[in-house]
Structure 1
Amino acid sequence: MTAVASPRRWLFVLTILVGSFLLFLVQPMVARMVLPRLGGAPMVWNSAMLVYQALLLGGYAYAHWLGRFAVRRQAAIHIALLLAAALWLPIGIAQLPPPAPGQEALWVPLLLAASIGPVFFAVAAQAPLMQRWFAADPRAGDPYMLYAASNLGSFAGLISYPALVEPALPLAVQSWGWSAGYALLVLLVAASAAARWRGGADMAGDSGGAEARPTARRQLRWLLIAAVPSGLMLSTTTHLTTDIVAMPLLWVLPLGLYLLSFVIAFAPRAPARIAIVIAPAVLLGVGGLALLSTGGAAMLIAIASLGMLFVVATALHAHLYDLRPAPRYLTLFYLVMSAGGVLGGLFAALAAPLLFDWVYEHPLLVLAAALLLPLPPLLAWEKWTHLSAGATRIMVALFVLTALFASFHLVRTWTGEFAGAALLWGGFIFAIGLLVTRWRWAYATVLALLMVGLGGWSTLHDSLSDMRVRSYFGVYTVTDDPWRHQRRLAHGTTLHGLQRTDAGHELDPTTYYGPQSGVGLALDRIEVLAGPGASVGIVGLGAGTLACYRRPGQHWTIFEIDPVMVDIARDPTKFTFLSRCAPHAPVVIGDARLQIAGQPAGRFDILVIDAFSSDAIPLHLLTREAIGIYARALKPDGLLLIHISNRFFNLEPVLDAEAKARGWAAAIRNDPAGRGDDPDMLTRSSWVALAATPQRLAQLTGPLKSADKAHEDGAWIALAGRPHFDRWTDDYASTLPILYWNHIFFGRSE
């Protein structure tokens, strides 16, 4: 009977690890597959996460429903479902018509659900189901420990994709490899089922004695405690990539830390207890920056925000673990917990972009965490002073009033840029927050006051001034600087347009588009290069700066994915480039790659690609297939201009490899910042020009100069390629080889 008595923990751990690994490996893999159709805006990732959470909820609900049957019947049903879901293998993207403008928030979830819904649903159910089967043997022990293994497998799957899978394998091989892993999972599930019914556990897991079913109030606590870390994970992603540092690899890190928090919370208790003790101070210190809308000290704030997410999520999930029911209610517990994850995702991914003009969901979720965290007393001063209960309440109220006074002075010093004084006032409020940690209402109030003082007042003021707008693709802010005679358009932390407001200079080209920039030189000579009736295509509208290079008789077409950006550029109370220089130029709304593919062949003399989303790399616009679409839209002697200015990625090798593969001529123009009559109006820019022949390119660039003369006026130099650099395609591309690692940690100004 020794074999019967063995709970075979290793088998269940292995099954859970494999299933969770596959579950979170497929998420970035599918996100990579849909890039050519969706682009890489942060909200695309958030929408994808919402789909995954909804499918996870469905899987957990299915596992809970299965719990009413004996293990043998559960196994038969589940293996049949796994085999039926295999019809969706290998993983691919459903062929749906593109979304109408403004419908992306609903279309993205529909596309992902149609592409991987059944497979994801079936695999999502295996973690709670395996724990239920494991607990069916009364000698097996606590099944909740297996949830730590589940999330460890999830974390490994998530991280292995950008680190190992994407750089090494094309998408087709990735898809078939995942299918092989799925087949292994089916075998492991069958083996786990056999281990239980052969061991005599043929009834639905019923361990846990006579514990009553958890009350609705207890389930509500589970729901809320699970919702906040889920929403905070998504809001941290949006907050970091929108207003702190728009570094795309950060999109994966919050999810990875969120998964790791479950590993700590559901594993041996010492690390989880440490998180519970330090979480209030961490939330106060870092959460106080949640209303900050500036990229100052960007990477330091980003690292602190990720640290806060991990500590707070661990503390909340450890609290959730402390509230867990007996194993007989295990699937109910996971079902409610998953519903909480979906609730947080709905708020952060769907509701917030519709309700707010900035990422206000982030500070709101930080405050929600303050209202739900366990709050152990850090400084028991009321005991040391032997104050009565009434006197203690009065002291707490006085502390809060003092924090209000300090917050008022913090706003004044912060907006006045008195860094030293602001640091002192902020530290003073933080200290008060530590003193009132035991009183939840006071703690949350002090945290809110610290948020308002540390940049929050400026953020709220920009919203009230009606100069900020939010869309599915980002947050856009228009600000005036009367001292410098500027009006600026920012997309998160990235400058997307600037117009001079001093009389007589309103239509001067600025920022990345100055007369000495690569695109400025090309468009200024367009009549020489292509004649008086030249046809020009512009991808990426921004504030409309390039429109003022247009000359009478030319035919311009502008492609812009975001209708909100079109509204900004066309509003003469904000910017007048478009309304004064090209009021009748058609603006085609939609993904540029798809829209250009629908244009007549040989339409454009010059095509300009300037379509970054903040600093998000437009990977799907730089692949072999994308460049092929541009080549088809260009005339045989057409010129292709691509803007590659970026704080985090060196895109020269990408375009160099593409030009060599096509036999094209290519050159780059690196225009430094601070040139011209007013250096405050120009920023550094890097523009790549490509043409079918060297002779055609030379008509724009002249003889190419050496790299040491790159900063001379009109200096075009050869692209800096890399030996053996793999050409990007829709099926294979990796951003790790072109990452500026030093810029991640030390930054680079625009």
Structure 2
Amino acid sequence: MTSSIASGAAPRRWLFTLTILAGSFLLFLVQPMVARMALPRLGGAPNVWNSAMLVYQALLLGGYAYAHFIGRFSLVRQGMVHIAILLLGGLTLPLALAEIAPPAPGWEALWVPWLFMLTVGPAFFAISAQAPLIQRWFAAHPDAGNPYPLYAASNLGSFAGLLTYPLIAEPLLSIGAQSLYWTFGYALLIVFVIAAVLARRGSDTPVVAAMVSKDAVTAHRTSWKTVLLWLALSAVPSGLMLSTTTFLTTDIMAMPLLWVIPLGLYLLSFSIAFAEKRAIAGIFVFLAPVVLLVDGSLSMFSAGRADLLAAVASIVLLFVTAVALHSRMYEYRPPASELTRFYLVMSLGGVLGGLFTALIAPVVFDWTWEHPLLILAAAALLPLGPWKQLIGDRFSNPRMGLILLGATLLIVFNGALGVFQSSLAQSQLSAVQWAALLGILLLSVLLAARRWSFVMGTAVLLLSLGGISNLLTSFEGDRERSYFGIYSLRDEPDGDKLLMHGTTIHGVQRSGDEAAQEPTAYYGRNSGVGRALLQAGELFGADARVGVVGLGVGTLACYREEGQDWTFFEIDPEVLHYSERGDFTYLSRCAPDSPTIIGDARLELEAMDADRFDILVIDAFSSDAIPLHLLTAEALDIYLRSTSDDGLLVMHISNNYIRLEPVIAQLAQSRGLAAVVRSDTELQEDGLFASTWVALARDPARIAALEAEGGWRELEPPEGPVWTDDYASILPYLVWENFL
């Protein structure tokens, strides 16, 4: 078989590289595409993306297992089997969201993966085997050379697919068109696979035999110790990629599209780590211990401060660490005869890392503890060879080295703890504090001389720069974690009580009987929603019917007047518990008999009778992460159906990163609605925060009555196409200067 291939054709690296690139491009183009399809049913919680990633990793594992299994067959038979699998997967195209019943409250962590599995599973599984299978076919040629750099090409294709979606596909194409074009790409991929099989025609023996003799396979069988190392080296970067996404969107800032950056850099790390030329990978390996200590410390130190520096530090930490760990894995790569086994174990590690971060951590931990734990795991695995030679070999006396490293640990811990405690009462560090922190971090680099001191040094820094403080919060029981976010109670010196959702204030209640019923935060009496609700009786009578989407701490309940019929909607049961337990008393004091419906408000409103409310308030954003499915034409139709013909719709559109006024203006114009906006500029004054609210109505008289009170203005001119469930893109509306 070997001579037949050698005489019939060249290795044709370009064809196999193109086939791998195409498959990886399609895989990572379809991931955000299916997540976007699911928005009308899932909303925009960060854990939705983590659940989706877990499904993709599981399907990738299945594909790699399948590629490993059929490796025992001849190349011709492998080709026939794989083409048949691709054709079967194609029967599910074009992709459409699976029709299944909505989840029961609390079961989202299992329901979301099941939805994604049913929607994209067959096609994704078929493509997922591409990288190892095509590499193995390429390596079957006697002149092929090292097949592993083709995996770098695979991840370049993945990176390109990931960026293509938010930058090109989503802004330019509807969901239906995206699915159709992806189907065309899938068909083209099948053509490439057929061409690759034909390029290796003449093979009638297993590919393994073409690459190496049976005796050589046995002689080079990788030990289980090395296999476990592969598993760990793949699991930690995978888990760290997802934990970085959760950490950033929960504890740093909820910037839109933020999830693209960790995944993109994770994919890019493979391209550097598996490249044939090793110089760049060597630089990353050398820098990784320093980056881990410095950036890991900064990300922990800045948790909860909404600090851009912490966001950058976390992203750099992920990228450099992933390259270093994947480079170490590349150095331990097996012969080509074990290629599919190597990728199978790598994929299993990816699934284990994703399983820990996406499913186990949200249930077990009350905070993003998975992030520092994975940083510690990375410290235990990073290659330290260059630093051991640079520092460790200078300790001629082992006992003296032990004493010096122990003293360094003690200085680092006490110094870092002192800086952290002195910074608690300040929003910004002074120049002296910054200098002290940087000095401590530079000193801690000495700990890379030995593995034990490096791991202990990392642990000491993480504990002293915020870990101990967060542990105390966990032990005190003032923090809860659900599928939709992390919530913590905060008591202010003046007696006010705050509910934090990550870094965002979710609600405030003042102390004292009278003050406890006064609206605060974004809902003050001068806010758009405050003005509208104060006029409810005047506009709709004493028995006005009010619906509120997004409970928060129940602040809006204090606007309820005797005889009015109020209903609240809340997607997260954990949020309601804060009112039920008495942590916040707006509901119990002002609207004790008003029901709170748990579930996605859009689905719940759709299931209710028409003409249910006179005023419907939409306040369902979590920080600056907007649930697109609540701002589409289909969602607006549901809201209008739920309100009376002369009813009023009030929407909260405060956002630091997205200009939502032109979006709402376009929606209003598409449905012939009268609309005005009110921006309340009271910031941090008596517990009141700046907010922007839009009021919409079919009846212009209702809007005129609001405007008579003053403070309202016309919306910005409409821009772009109307957002629908089939098409919506935030890219044209991003406020780029606020990202800096």
Asked whether the two chains share a fold, i.e. TM above 0.5, the reply is yes
1:224 to 2:227 alignment: no
Instruction: Measure, in 2, the Cα distance between the counterparts of 1:378 and 1:434.
Output: 9
Instruction: Show the counterpart of 1:17.
Output: 21
What amino acid does structure 2 have at the position aligned with 1:508?
Answer: E
For 2:300, what is the secondary structure of its paired residue? coil
Instruction: Measure, in 2, the Cα distance between the counterparts of 1:518 and 1:736.
Output: 27
Instruction: Show the counterpart of 1:436.
Output: 447
Deviation at 1:420, TM superposition (A): 4.2
What amino acid does structure 2 have at the position aligned with 1:473?
Answer: F
State how many pairs are aligned. 728
Instruction: Measure, in 2, the Cα distance between the counterparts of 1:29 and 1:164.
Output: 12
Residue by residue over 1:433-463, the C-alpha shift from the partner in whole angstroms, topping out at 9 and shown as x without a partner, is: 2112021121122222222232333322322
Distance 1:305 1:583, change over 3 A: same
Query: Could you tell me which of 555, 567, 575 is aligned with 1:557?
Result: 567
Distance 1:698 1:285, change over 3 A: same
Instruction: Show the counterpart of 2:549.
Output: 539
Instruction: Show the counterpart of 2:366.
Output: 357
Instruction: Show the counterpart of 1:145.
Output: 149
Alignment RMSD: 1.7
Instruction: Show the counterpart of 1:705.
Output: none
1:319 to 2:337 alignment: no
Query: Could you tell me which of 109, 115, 121 is aligned with 1:105?
Result: 109
Instruction: Show the counterpart of 2:677.
Output: 668
Deviation at 1:410, TM superposition (A): 2.8
Instruction: Measure, in 1, the Cα distance between the counterparts of 2:421 and 2:90.
Output: 61
Which structure 2 residues correspond to residues 701-712 of structure 1 after superposition, within 5 A? 701-702=707-708
What amino acid does structure 2 have at the position aligned with 1:343?
Answer: L
Deviation at 1:25, TM superposition (A): 0.2
For 2:259, what is the secondary structure of its paired residue? helix
Q: Are the aligned partners of 1:71 and 1:193 in contact in 2 as well (CA < 8 Å)?
A: yes
Which structure 2 residues correspond to residues 364-379 of structure 1 after superposition, within 5 A? 364-378=373-387
Instruction: Measure, in 1, the Cα distance between the counterparts of 2:238 and 2:370.
Output: 12
Instruction: Show the counterpart of 2:654.
Output: 645
Q: Are the aligned partners of 1:415 and 1:458 in contact in 2 as well (CA < 8 Å)?
A: no
1:736 to 2:740 alignment: no
Q: Are the aligned partners of 1:645 and 1:686 in contact in 2 as well (CA < 8 Å)?
A: yes
Deviation at 1:404, TM superposition (A): 2.8
Which structure 2 residues correspond to residues 506-655 of structure 1 after superposition, within 5 A? 506-572=516-582, 574-655=583-664
Instruction: Show the counterpart of 1:129.
Output: 133
Q: Are the aligned partners of 1:659 and 1:690 in contact in 2 as well (CA < 8 Å)?
A: yes
Instruction: Measure, in 1, the Cα distance between the counterparts of 2:127 and 2:358.
Output: 23
1:700 to 2:706 alignment: yes
What amino acid does structure 1 have at the position aligned with 2:689?
Answer: T
Distance 1:383 1:238, change over 3 A: closer
Normalised to the residue count of structure 2, the TM-score between the two structures is 0.96
Q: Which region of structure 1 is more displaced relative to structure 2, 11-20 or 368-377?
A: 368-377
Q: Are the aligned partners of 1:407 and 1:452 in contact in 2 as well (CA < 8 Å)?
A: no
Instruction: Show the counterpart of 1:344.
Output: 353
Instruction: Measure, in 1, the Cα distance between the counterparts of 2:729 and 2:600.
Output: 22
Instruction: Show the counterpart of 1:456.
Output: 467
Which ranges in structure 2 are unaligned for 5 or more consecutive residues? none
Instruction: Measure, in 2, the Cα distance between the counterparts of 1:383 and 1:107.
Output: 51
What amino acid does structure 1 have at the position aligned with 2:507?
Answer: G
Which structure 2 residues correspond to residues 61-460 of structure 1 after superposition, within 5 A? 61-198=65-202, 200=203, 202-206=205-209, 207-208=211-212, 210=216, 211-267=219-275, 268-292=277-301, 294-296=303-305, 298-378=307-387, 387-417=396-426, 419-460=430-471
Residue by residue over 1:114-140, the C-alpha shift from the partner in whole angstroms, topping out at 9 and shown as x without a partner, is: 111010000001111000111111211
Q: Which region of structure 1 is more displaced relative to structure 2, 141-150 or 423-432?
A: 423-432
For 1:575, what is the secondary structure of its paired residue? coil
Q: Are the aligned partners of 1:414 and 1:453 in contact in 2 as well (CA < 8 Å)?
A: no
1:720 to 2:716 alignment: yes
For 2:313, what is the secondary structure of its paired residue? helix
Q: Are the aligned partners of 2:391 and 2:449 in contact in 1 as well (CA < 8 Å)?
A: no
Deviation at 1:197, TM superposition (A): 1.8
Q: Are the aligned partners of 1:35 and 1:619 in contact in 2 as well (CA < 8 Å)?
A: yes
Which ranges in structure 1 are unaligned for 5 or more consecutive residues? 703-712, 746-750
Deviation at 1:380, TM superposition (A): 5.8
Instruction: Measure, in 1, the Cα distance between the counterparts of 2:226 and 2:24.
Output: 28
What amino acid does structure 2 have at the position aligned with 1:547?
Answer: A
Instruction: Measure, in 2, the Cα distance between the counterparts of 1:340 and 1:57.
Output: 9
What amino acid does structure 2 have at the position aligned with 1:401?
Answer: L
Identity, % of aligned positions: 54
Instruction: Show the counterpart of 1:684.
Output: 690
Instruction: Measure, in 1, the Cα distance between the counterparts of 2:459 and 2:264.
Output: 28
What amino acid does structure 2 have at the position aligned with 1:726?
Answer: P
Q: Are the aligned partners of 1:284 and 1:430 in contact in 2 as well (CA < 8 Å)?
A: yes
Deviation at 1:204, TM superposition (A): 1.8
